Structure 1
Amino acid sequence: MRIALFLGIFLLALPVGATATPEPAMTLLFSFETKADEPRWVAVNDGVMGGRSRGGPAVEAGVLTFSGVLSLENNGGFSSVRTVGRDFDFSNATAVLLRVRGDGRRYQLRLATDARFRGITVSYGGEFATEAGQWTDVRVPLADLRPSAHGFALQGPPLDASRVRELGLLIGDKREGPFRLEVDWIGLE
């Protein structure tokens, strides 16, 4: 009822002969409402290389929370979460959309395919900013994602969006201390 009333008022407010420009269509990937529809999320922190950062995922009350403490000890400095057990075809998408509530720090969206560089999985990442305590909608264009392997920037290979094996979130902003990112939903444009 509220949507119909809003839409009616919006259409009445348009000048005669004007048309409403439709918003780009979004395909919802995850709403975090039911575990049956969601992939499993796992943590990968800098402990894999001797670091001391801690972080991980929790899905409760329709929200994915990625939180922990970033440490720069032992050349560490990153924490991440990623999906496992589900493949994705993003070939018809131009961007990944997220509704997030952050802590004012910068995070990365990460995608991985079966691409390898010297036997190491290639990840494709793009940064996004958050506003402390505020829900914001984030758009990360697929064309802006840059390849890397173990944190080293690569010139290629290009992202094969039809073969996404992992979707993840990462913090590695070189600032020690606690972090917290909440995700309401993730979709494709």
Structure 2
Amino acid sequence: MKAFLIFLLSLTISDLTLNFGSGQNQVNNWVLISDNIMGGISKSKLEYTQNTMILTGNISLDNFGGFASVKTEFGKYDISQFKGIKIKFKSTNQKFAFTLEDSKNWTFPNFKGAFTSTKPNTWEEKIILFKDFKEYQIGEPTGEKLLESNLKNIVRMGIITTEKKEGPFTIEVDYIEFVK
């Protein structure tokens, strides 16, 4: 809870970095959400190391499944002062997206900024600009884009597998930095 409160307070300053890990003052309160919430049978696990967050699992397309994700708790985040994020990660076997939600209703549209590894199991940094985020509704693209007005009212952020490809996957995240 303390890391979450520090995160909320830090939104009022000009620089924001979410440093993941199990230590004090590191972000370690994101929650695991997979296709199990709707009848899917994908297996996933979330753990925190000293300095990272690791999401691992096995995606199954059975029972209309096909995703695993980690998300912040619900809150109120005004990230309109930023142009995007920089994420330091390493991964294997899936494409991913950074997600932004401006409603607590899961049937309402959300926004995804795609990223993928170019060198499996190697630390990489990617910048994902908010202007490149696309709107999705229940996993399907709507053709709309993320607007600056959406950025003022974000209620949840996360990382999700997006490929709907069966098999094992891993993503380890060191940090997410909001960039101007």
TM-score scaled to structure 1, two decimals?
0.76
Moved over 6 A (4+): none
Question: Given the alignment, which residue of 119, 123, 129 partners 2:110?
Answer: 123
**Distance in 1 separating the partners of 2:49 and 2:63:** 33
Identity of counterpart residues, as a percentage? 23
Q: Tell me the CA shift for residue 156 of structure 1.
A: 4.6
Q: Sort the Cα spacing of 1:41 and 1:35 in 2 relative to 1 into closer, same or farther, 3 A.
A: farther
Q: Which has the larger radius of gyration?
A: 1
Give structure 1 stretches of 5+ with no counterpart: 1-25
Q: What is aligned with 1:14?
A: none
Q: Which residues of 2 match residues 5-24 of structure 1 at below 5 A?
A: none
- Residues 118-160 of structure 1 show CA distances to partners (whole Å, capped at 9, x for unaligned) of x823210021111211100011110111111211222458441
Is 1:143 the counterpart of 2:142 in the alignment? no
Question: Given the alignment, which residue of 79, 100, 109 partners 1:111?
Answer: 100
Q: Tell me the CA shift for residue 37 of structure 1.
A: 4.9
Q: Tell me the CA shift for residue 88 of structure 1.
A: 2.0
- Residues 80-122 of structure 1 show CA distances to partners (whole Å, capped at 9, x for unaligned) of 1101044322111111110001115311111111386xx8232
Kept in 2: contact 1:39–1:84 (CA 8 A): no
TM-score scaled to structure 2, two decimals?
0.80
Give structure 2 stretches of 5+ with no counterpart: 1-13
Q: Which amino acid aligns with 1:75?
A: F
Is 1:32 the counterpart of 2:20 in the alignment? yes
Q: What is aligned with 1:51?
A: 40
**Distance in 1 separating the partners of 2:59 and 2:145:** 30
- Most deviating of 36-45 and 62-71: 36-45
Kept in 1: contact 2:93–2:169 (CA 8 A): no
**Distance in 1 separating the partners of 2:24 and 2:46:** 13
- What SS is found at the alignment partner of 1:154? strand
RMSD: 2.2
Report how many aligned residue pairs link the two structures.
Answer: 162
